Amino acid sequence: MYPIRRNRRLRTSEAIRSLVRETIISPNDFLVPLFVVEGTGVKEEIASMPNYYRYSLDLLEQEVKELWSLGLKSVLLFVKVPDALKDNKGTEALNSEGLMQRAIKTVKNACPGMLVMTDVALDPYSSFGHDGIVQNGKIVNDDTAEVLAEMSLSHAQAGADFVAPSDMMDGRILTIREALEDEGFTNTGIMSYSAKYASAFYGPFRDALDSAPVDMVDVPKDKKTYQMDPANRDEAIRETEMDIDEGADIVMVKPGIAYLDIVREIRNAVEVPVAVYQVSGEYAMIKAAAEKGWLDHDAVMLEQITAIKRAGAHIIASYFAKDVVRLIAG
């Protein structure tokens, strides 16, 4: 009780503040998303994600070496697929010589210790821009899960350490786990996007991969029949518990900042590592406000990353990973 207890005593200097700080950010917290394109010598800036790039395989090699030198030891790979290779079933996703499969090998050759996770969903490969197969105006569940299992197997065969299904089909974790077990990939992990919301914060990402749902009759314009309603909380726990029962090694909440209540609930409810994805729109907002001189870029970036970890994230997928690590290294 005041004045016996004066809370400000623990805030009087940076030394005491750092001594009692509850949340410390380090390079170990991060998973670095990387966008890969065909070609050589390509490093293209993504228009709606300033200072974030798509890399061709040769430059991807340099990028992962740089990440490694900064202490960043895990990457999450996404590929931008040429339109000519897209179809409804995402056939190209299963090509053992496809861009993703080559990207996995490139990272492993450049940096054998780097943990490689791969995005598993049909959208970058889908002529309709959906995470699953479209039939009669609907996204079909079980047939999609079968393709995702084949895709996961193909990534595991190419050397992926973890597959990360981001599609939100029901039962896909079990289908993928069984496929991996059947083929002897018992140590290939699954990081499930388990509470993934139908969020408007993914816009810049869909620009990065040219993967937005197309505007055509009989093609749903949004992902609301599979991604979660932002209004729901109990459902996030249910989704996450089911994914763990089906074999998810790591679960994820996505997006980050607007969903930190969900992060804390899930962290309290489950006993597997919890990842949070600070998504493209969250990145773009900070960049845009900082460009206008309205926010202090580094301070807001670090505050948001700290808030995500404080809320309960064991792992943070973030486009800011490199910037944060450089900042905290001083």
Enzyme catalytic residues:
196, 254
Residue where the block lists tokens 């960043």: 72
Q: Write the CB contacts of 216 (distance below 8 Å, at least 6 apart in sequence).
A: 128
Q: Please identify, using beta-carbon distances, which residue of 110 and 289 lies nearer to ligand PBG.
A: 289
Smallest gap from residue 5 Cβ to ligand PBG (A): 43
Residue of 101, 126, 152, 166 interacting with ligand PBG (CB under 6 A): 166
Judged by CB under 6 A, the stretch of 13-21, 22-30, 117-125, 292-300 that binds ligand PBG is: 117-125
Judged by CB under 6 A, the stretch of 59-67, 115-123, 228-236, 259-267 that binds ligand PBG is: 115-123
What are the CA-CA distances from residue 325 to residues 160, 298, 311, 321 (Å)?
24, 11, 20, 6
Q: Does residue 192 interact with ligand PBG by CB under 6 A?
A: no
- The answer to whether residues 253 and 274 touch, using CB atoms and an 8 Å cutoff, is yes
Of all residues in this chain, which one has the CB nearest to ligand PBG in the complex? 205
Strand 133-135 relative to strand 138-140: parallel, antiparallel, unpaired? antiparallel
Distance of CA 40 to the CA centre of its chain: 25
Residue of 29, 131, 239, 243 interacting with ligand PBG (CB under 6 A): 131
- CA nearest neighbour of 171 among 221, 218, 226: 226
Helix (H), strand (E) at residue 18: helix 14-20
Q: Does residue 121 interact with ligand PBG by CB under 6 A?
A: yes
Site residues (CB under 6 A) for ligand PBG, limited to 197-226: 202, 205-206, 223
Smallest gap from residue 8 Cβ to ligand PBG (A): 39
> Site for ligand PBG (CB under 6 A): how many residues?
12
Q: Does residue 265 interact with ligand PBG by CB under 6 A?
A: no
- C-alpha–C-alpha distance, residues 46 and 319, integer Å: 12
Judged by CB under 6 A, the stretch of 6-14, 38-46, 118-126, 228-236 that binds ligand PBG is: 118-126
Alpha helices in 51-192 (DSSP H): 57-69, 99-110, 142-158, 172-182
Q: Please identify, using beta-carbon distances, which residue of 143 and 207 lies nearer to ligand PBG.
A: 207
- C-alpha–C-alpha distance, residues 31 and 164, integer Å: 12
Residue 247: left (phi > 0), alpha (psi -120 to 50), or beta? left
Residue of 280, 284, 322, 325 interacting with ligand PBG (CB under 6 A): 280
Smallest gap from residue 130 Cβ to ligand PBG (A): 9
Q: Write the CB contacts of 34 (distance below 8 Å, at least 6 apart in sequence).
A: 55, 60, 63, 64, 75, 76, 77, 78
Smallest gap from residue 21 Cβ to ligand PBG (A): 28
Q: Please identify, using beta-carbon distances, which residue of 196 and 309 lies nearer to ligand PBG.
A: 196
Q: Does residue 279 interact with ligand PBG by CB under 6 A?
A: yes
Radius of gyration of the chain (CA): 20
Smallest gap from residue 256 Cβ to ligand PBG (A): 10
- CA nearest neighbour of 231 among 263, 258, 202: 258
Q: Does residue 119 interact with ligand PBG by CB under 6 A?
A: yes
Site residues (CB under 6 A) for ligand PBG, limited to 51-90: none
Smallest gap from residue 76 Cβ to ligand PBG (A): 9
Helix (H), strand (E) at residue 206: helix 203-209
Smallest gap from residue 257 Cβ to ligand PBG (A): 12
255 upstream amide cis, omega within 30 of 0: yes
Q: Does residue 123 interact with ligand PBG by CB under 6 A?
A: yes
- Residues lying near ligand PBG in the complex (CB under 6 A): 119, 121, 123, 131, 166-167, 202, 205-206, 223, 279-280
